[in-house]
Structure 1
Amino acid sequence: MSQLYAALPARHARPALWSVVVGLFLLLSTFSHPVLGQNPAVLRGFVTDSLSGQRLPGVGIRLDGQPQGTASDAAGTFRLANLPAGTYTVRATALGYRSPATTVTLTAGSTQTLNLRLSAVALSLREVTVSQPRDPNQSVAAISHIDQALRPVNSAQDLLRLVPGLFIAQHAGGGKAEQIFLRGFDCDHGTDFAVSIDGLPVNMVSHAHGQGYADFHFVIPETVEQLRVYKGPYTARFGDFATAGAGEFTTKTSLDRSQIKVEVGRFDTRRALVMLDLLGHNKHHLLSKKPESAYVAAEYNFTNSYFDQKQHFQRFNGLAKYTGQLTDQTSLTLLGSHFTSNWDASGQIPERGVAEGLISRYGSIDPTEGGSTSRTNASAVLTTGLPHDAVLRQQAYYSKYDFSLYSNFTFFLQDPVNGDEIQQLDNRHLFGYTATYEQSTQLGSRSLHSTLGVGTRNDFSNLGLRHTVRREVLDTVTTGKLYERNLNAYLDETLPLTEQLTLNAAVRADVFTFDFRGQLYDTTSLSLQPLRGRVTKARVSPKLNLYYELTPQVQLFVRSGIGFHSNDARGVIRGTVGQNVLPRAIGYEVGSTFKPVPSLVVNAAVWALHLQDELVYIGDAGEVESTGPTRRFGLDASVRYQLTPSLFADLDLNFNHGRQVAAPKGANYIPLAPSFTSIGGLTLKRPSGLNASLRYRYIDDRPANDDGSITARGYFLLDAVVSYTKAWFQLGATVENLLNVEWNQAQFATETRLPTEPVGTSVDELHFTPGTPFYLKATFSVFF
């Protein structure tokens, strides 16, 4: 069996048969002409929020007694065609919303338009639907929507934890991007998990610290309205880094009300939040006035954290967003945000340092670690309804990003006198454009939904790696100018083959240009040597997925796809990674989303993923490291149950098994890859009055190195949140690590030398960042 796994990456290097099958399907769908029935009727319309008047995308639309439905598109419109004449009952469904059933009578050949207005209501799992007619690849949509409505979110880290099965770890005082774990991957800071917010990419290519670096701290958690989760490489909309999966976050279109919040907690923790509705709700839409909304939000954070060395962490976030319906067919969204942060850090510490009494569990070997970072974003989205029920969505965005990080991972191993502290620098401009064209076409009695997408991303950055001591520069390891461009296009087709069976087929093409002009420190000549070059590589990624609606309460799915993650440009130019510039990921899974009883939602999938080569930029040394081909398989299970109208229970179980394919048995572990994780809890959720949540997190012990001789330690944590809400205020308290257990966040097997140890010696052992001890925070909010 191991030989079969080992052969998979090479065998699929040219997936000719798969590409031909997908290509023929796409060609057929592109050139097919509608075959209309005998004077069919058409029902069309748009879905709006009853409070703000804004259009709502992604709302399910069904007709009583009819097996097939649809969903509102990016412009909030929908269309059901080829309907026999008759009387129908129309229902719009969206979690947390309710729309009264609408009765409509259609005559032969007629077209009727509806405006479905949805009102916010208390969450009920009875209203959850398991099918996703507009976006079938979002198989955990029901689960993630429930979680967002129920789980308390107090930070950007909590937003990432909304992804079922995702774990994070922090190891630089809260200012650095989290380490991400998902589906048996140690994704580092984002190498194998793509993150976006309002269409803005969060992952940074060829970053100074690590490939795919995803710093999500520029997001204000209270502004986030929606999360879409995609596990595996099955969705053509995502390219680079979307191997283990992708998370799409969306901020609110409008505010229900303005808010001021103040938080105070242990370790000198303070936070202030202001969210202001600038235009008020345009409820009546007098005369020709179109709905529009605008709001601003700002937050400030400060903490000294729980380390012996005060962290002096402070962060500011600001956001402004405008959404307006320019015409019945056109909407405009403008967004601007700014984020800045600086901190001191205690870094990773060696187990022997604590055992020998050199430092405490919350101490540091190098107290001068820390950093600063900032990001400014601007985005414009224009969504236009076109003739023939098509929608064109265009987005242009820009980000200015700065990053400076001081770290010391090996202490005094390389330089016994000054120590091994380094500074990593990234000064970046990021420009991008995306456009999608969506259209539904009748093929006989079936409706083919087509999406054509194109895009480009362009990164311009000044990168640097320096050897420092107490934040003073000693020498430069590498420096230079990066230009990296990605051009991409994809075609995605969804066709109901029968009343129950839906086929989704897609193909994506990416072209990358890696350009780096700079200098690299040569250990032989002990001087900087030129490093210059330009490389262009391409990747074609087909996808093929099947969905079967056994009953309205049971959906089965089989998914498969090819994805990739890119390598760091410096490794590409140096030629240290051979031909694996864009190593391929081959994934497949089978599963189901179902409701055994009306108030119980279950999602389960058995999956596998084969990665051609795990390539990671080792920012500490300015080099690229290859693990070689790997294989992973596992089981994901998520359960959500509504015990009473206000009491909910949830449980996630994630089993993962991964190995390096080319390594010998016993030395083929994938370092830090989790084998079992679980999250769960109980939540009391009411529109007002008392609300509470008790939650646990568990991750098991796992190998920290290839042969498993060093173990990263697992943990079990309990967190609690309680609040009391009235119309104009809210009081609350949050407790992290309720049992006050000692646990490790980030953990690594690292070879280091301490200042007290003889020169020329070193120890390879577990290094860790201690997790939060018992932590209490109080909050007070005013609404107006």
Structure 2
Amino acid sequence: MEKTNTAHTNIARQAPFRIATLLAVVSTGVAAAQTNNPTLLPDVIVEGRDDTLVGIASTASEGAVGQPQLLERPLTKPAEILETIPGVIVTQHSGGGKANQYFLRGFNLDHGTDFATSLNGMPINMPSHGHGQGYSDLNFLIPELTYRVNYRKGVYHADQGDFSSAGAADIEYYDRLPQSIARIEGGSYGYGRALFASSPEAGPGNLLYALETSHYDGPWTNPDDYQKFNGVVGYSQGDQALGFSIKFLGYHGRWNSTDQIAERALDIPGFSRFDNLNPTDAGNSQRYSLIGEWHRVSDTAATKLVAYGSYYDMDLWSDFTYFLTSPQGDQFEQLDERWLGGLNASHTIFSEIASHPVENTFGLQLRTDDIHNGLFQSVQRSRADKLDYDGNPIPATTREDAIVQASLAPYFMNKVQWAEKFRTTAGLRADFYHFDVESDNPLNSGSESDAIVSPKAGLVLGPWADTEFYLNGGLGFHSNDGRGVTARVDPATGAAIDSADPLVRTYGAEFGVRTSGIRDLHSSVALWWLDIDSELLFIGDAGATEASRPSRRYGVEFANYYLLNDWLSMDADLSFSNARFRDSDPSGRHIPGSIETAITTGFTIRNLRNFFGGLHLRYFGPRPLIEDNTVRSSETLLLSSEIGYRFSKVWSLSAEVLNVLDRRDNEIEYYYASRLAGEPVGSADGGYLDRHFHSVSPVSLRVALTARF
């Protein structure tokens, strides 16, 4: 059982649904393995971005990205492999080890809410997380182990549940590497990285192991000193028909944080874009996971089981408002420690009704998180009681909670090929949630249960001239933080508050076109719409709930992948979104931080007389920062390049130049009230409304020496 990087496999168009299901079943453990069963279909090997899904896909906005395109483009952080997904933007507003901030389809997704990520079927998003709901930390990823990224968008897939209303991505690791890898890197601003990975034969199967360590200071006056240690050990056995794999992953990181700074701080003599307003902000995190996968495929059925368990721990110190609340400073600590486990199981039956191919999938997803988290006041990373400016006490512990959160979700998917050029999809998903919270304040303790049912439907017309048309609609949801679900009082003030909604409804629809009508050009266009009900959200930085208004988002995505010749490919993705609140309010209807324009384009060179590399441009357009749209962010335009040369079958040398144009743009911007040290009382809650930003890094160079053997 293996995943190897070989040529594209031709797909039999006469059985599109069965092919799609077989790909899903074998994707986390099998590819191109030899088998004596002639009825089994081989896996699709994705070398670039596989938009050649005409005759297979259920929507215009789904796809897959293969390892060559993932690796032969500059990456400043592991999560940037998600930027190969059309419309996705990945940023950072703090230290390098903190989860990134994600943008897609009119959303500022914060650290992952409404975008579900998983690794080999193990969910990465953290519900009821100490920093934010749906927290998705991808810093433990090793890009060289990534075989493929499968992505889907919208609420049209019954096997996708919580956090997936905007989209979902499953990152697949190899079971067997094409070659062993030894790599050492060094570069600007204290960057260094070393990696060794191999997958030798071990008995009837294959052993996989990888070790990675890295360090990065960044351009900051107070160096990030981000130190990361990463390891993977796995074993796999079998083939497409029957096989299993097991992987253990371990990650530990610690870092200093230069959080976003107030723009007016640049007026302080000697203060630069790379300075900080609290040099003691920092964090550390660790995650240890075990993933097991088993599958069996025949010409009448396909079964897949994924079981996983993780231990996770994070301690984070942040300060976004400086001296707004207390003369001792506004730094706070967020803690999250948890054990989690779950199961994803699916069984698909292939049959016919009146000569029409039919596919019925029955699935079940289980997950339980046992969580201890807390929110504390701190001074220089030490928990401390404080006083506000009126002399009132601010206790060191804002709140501390023990949470057990469990979910169960059976689902059903049906696919029917009614005619040569007409097929339908339908699905039904039921999610059951239970929250049990034991808080340090008994008034915020309690138990709550909720359930929600989400139907899905879609139809596909075509292909004509390698072109298909899609229409999809469905209902989805996202969960809320368990602490908010049982909250009755504000832990800071003691005032009565309303509890958050456990599960919040989302509604979506999409019309799209996918074509491969022009040779070697794969394009798709999707027009989409998504509504979210009003809700009460739990705010992790405050420990209390806050009302959120009903919203509507709609837009268009245009994705293109063009194989110009056997050594040069081009991708060009354009995404335009409109996001508004649906109700009336004097403050305005724009949604702060909502992405409006995202453009990514570039060229990738695979093997031109032993040269390889790429040139990639990312445009992150201006966004409203407040509801009336009178304050908007600036644009971010980043151009990065890589050039490399293979000296032999083993050795290669490459260089990356990041931010080639040396632009002084901002990775992210916010607009809110803060107070700097020494400032008098201001008119905005005692502070001053201002832009707060985190700068992109200046132009930098990274060099890598790689051996593949």
TM (norm. structure 1) is 0.82
Q: Which amino acid aligns with 1:163?
A: I
SS at match of 1:607: strand
Query: Which secondary structure does the structure 1 equivalent of 2:484 belong to?
Result: helix
Q: Match of 1:166?
A: 88
CA–CA distance in structure 1, aligned partners of residues 217 and 37 of structure 2? 61
Structure 2: how far apart are the matches of 1:159 and 1:228?
A: 11
Q: Is the 2:2–2:176 Cα contact (8 Å) retained in structure 1?
A: no
Deviation at 1:644, TM superposition (A): 2.6
Once residues 351 and 624 of structure 2 are traced to their aligned partners in structure 1, the CA distance between those partners, rounded to angstroms, is 52
Q: Which amino acid in structure 2 is aligned with residue 727 of structure 1?
A: K
Distance 1:618 1:263 in 2: 39
1:67-110 deviation line (CA, Å, top 9, x unaligned): 867417558999xxxxxxxxxxxxxxxxxx9999xxxxxxxxxx
Write the mapping of 1:363-442 to structure 2, written as runs, cut at 5 A. Answer: 363-385=275-297, 389-416=300-327, 418-442=328-352
Report the alpha carbon displacement of residue 723 of structure 1 after superposing the two structures with TM: 1.0
- Matches of 2:373 and 2:700, distance apart in 1: 37
What's the secondary structure of 2:337's corresponding residue? Answer: strand
Contact 2:25 2:304 in 1 (8 A): no
1:296-315 superposed matches below 5 A: 296-315=209-228
CA distance in 2, matches of 1:637, 1:615: 34
Corresponding residue for residue 343 of structure 1: 255
Cα deviation code 1:507-533 (max 9, x no counterpart):
00000111110125xxxxxxxx64210
Structure with the greater relative contact order (CA < 8 A, sep ≥ 6): 1 or 2?
A: 2
* Structure 2 counterparts to residues 459-474 of structure 1, below 5 A: 459-474=369-384
| Paired residues for 1:157-196 under 5 Å | 157-196=79-118
Deviation at 1:459, TM superposition (A): 0.4
1:681–1:693 Cα contact (<8 Å) kept: yes
Which of 200, 203, 206 in structure 1 is aligned with 2:125? 203
8 Å Cα contact 1:731-1:779 kept in structure 2? yes
Q: How does 1:93-132 map to 2 (within 5 A)?
A: 113=38, 129-132=52-55
Q: Of 765, 768, 771, which aligns to 2:690?
A: 765
Q: Distance in 2 between matches of 1:435 and 1:99?
A: 23
Alpha-carbon separation, structure 1, partners of 2:318 and 2:276: 12
Deviations 1:382-438 (A, max 9, x none): 21347x72222112210000000000111111112x101000001100011121111
Query: Which residue identity is paired with 1:243?
Result: S
Match of 2:594 in 1: 673
One-letter amino acid of the counterpart of residue 629, structure 2: G
Matched, 1:318 2:231: yes
2:388 match? none
Q: Residue 543 in 1 paired to residue 460 in 2?
A: no
Q: Secondary structure at the match of 1:159?
A: helix
1:554 is matched with 467
Q: Contact 2:501 / 2:535 at 8 angstroms: preserved in 1?
A: no
Contact 1:429–1:459 (8 Å) recurs in 2: yes
Task: Specify the code of the residue in structure 1 equivalent to 2:640.
Answer: D
1:275 aligns with 2:191: no
CA distance in 2: counterparts of 1:50 and 1:776, whole angstroms: 32
Q: Distance in 1 between matches of 2:60 and 2:146?
A: 19
- Measure, in 1, the Cα distance between the counterparts of 2:435 and 2:197: 41
TM-fit CA distance, 1:646? 1.6
* Deviation at residue 247 of structure 1 after TM alignment: 0.5
Q: 1:324 to 1:61 in 2, by over 3 A?
A: same
SS, match of residue 216 in structure 1? coil
C-alpha contact (below 8 Å) 2:486/2:499 kept by paired residues: no
1:740 positional shift: 0.4
CA distance in 2, matches of 1:699, 1:273: 31
Residue aligned with 2:278, SS = coil
Aligned pair in 2 of structure 1 residues 219, 419: CA closer, same or farther (>3 Å)?
A: same
Within the candidate set 604, 619, 629, 1:708 is matched to 629
Opposite residue 157 of structure 1, the aligned amino acid is A
Counterpart of 2:454, as a letter, is S
Could you list the per-position Cα deviations for residues 173-215 of structure 1 after superposition, in whole angstroms to 9, with x for gaps in the alignment?
2110011000000000011100000111100000000000000
After superposition, the Cα gap between the structure-2 partners of 1:648 and 1:316, relative to the gap in structure 1 and judged at 3 Å, is: same
For the residues of structure 1 that align with 2:356 and 2:661, how far apart are their CA atoms? Answer: 56
Aligned with residue 71 of structure 1, among 14, 19, 33: 19
Q: In structure 2, which of residues 436, 445, 448 is the aligned counterpart of residue 532 of structure 1?
A: 445
- Counterparts in 2 of 1:153 and 1:166: CA distance versus 1, 3 Å: same
Q: Within 5 Å, which residues of 2 pair with 1:211-250?
A: 211-250=133-172
**Aligned-CA RMSD value:** 2.9
Q: Which residue of 2 aligns with 1:86?
A: none
What residue number does 1:647 align with? Answer: 568
Q: Does 1:753 align with 2:675?
A: yes
- In structure 2, the partner of 1:16 is none
| SS at structure 1 position matched to 2:511 | strand
Query: Partners in 2 of 1:746 and 1:422 — Cα distance?
Result: 21
Give the secondary-structure state (helix, strand or coil) at the position aligned to 2:607.
coil
Q: Hey, what's the Cα distance between the residues in 2 that align with 1:390 and 1:533?
A: 44
**Separation (CA, whole Å) in 2 of partners of 1:580 and 1:77:** 35
Count residues with an aligned counterpart.
682
Distance 1:341 1:684, change over 3 A: same
> Displacement of 1:581 after TM fit?
2.2
Select the residue among 265, 279, 282 that pairs with 2:187.
265
Query: What is the SS of the residue equivalent to 1:686?
Result: strand
Partner of 1:781: 706
Cα offset, 1:124, TM superposition:
8.6
Cα distance in 1, alignment partners of residues 657 and 537 from structure 2: 36
Of 137, 141, 153, which aligns to 2:63?
141
Q: CA deviation at 1:664?
A: 3.1
Contact 1:408 1:422 in 2 (8 A): yes
Give the letter aligned to residue 411 of structure 1: Y
Amino acid at match of 1:161: E
Paired amino acid for 1:131: V
Letter in 2 for 1:461: I
Judged with a 3 Å threshold, the aligned counterparts in structure 2 of structure 1 residues 320 and 117 are, in CA distance, closer, same or farther, namely same
Verify: 1:451 aligned to 2:358, yes or no: no
Q: Is the 8 A contact 2:3 2:176 kept in 1?
A: no
Name the CA distance, whole Å, in 2 between partners of 1:240 and 1:515.
Answer: 18
Q: Distance in 2 between matches of 1:140 and 1:77?
A: 17
Pairing partner for 2:399 from 464, 475, 478? 478
2:492 is matched with none
Structure 1 residues without counterparts, runs of 5 or longer: 1-47, 79-96, 101-110, 281-288, 521-528
Asked whether 1:573 is paired with 2:486, we answer yes
For the structure 1 residues 592 and 614, does the alpha-carbon distance in structure 2 shift closer, same or farther, using more than 3 Å as the test?
Answer: farther
The verdict on how the C-alpha distance between 1:230 and 1:157 changes in structure 2, with shifts beyond 3 A counting, is same
Structure 2: any 5+ residue segments left out of the alignment? 385-395, 489-496
**Please, what TM-score do these two structures have when normalized by structure 2?**
0.90
Distance (Å, rounded) in 2 between the aligned partners of 1:149 and 1:774: 20
| Counterpart secondary structure, 1:695 | strand
Matched residue SS, 1:698: strand
SS of aligned partner of 1:219: coil
**C-alpha distance in structure 1 between counterparts of 2:286 and 2:15, whole Å:** 50
2: distance between equivalents of 1:414 and 1:744?
26
For 1:633, which of 554, 560, 564 is the aligned residue? 554
Is the 8 Å Cα contact of residues 22 and 302 (structure 2) preserved in structure 1? yes
The answer for the alignment partner of 1:332 in structure 2 is 244
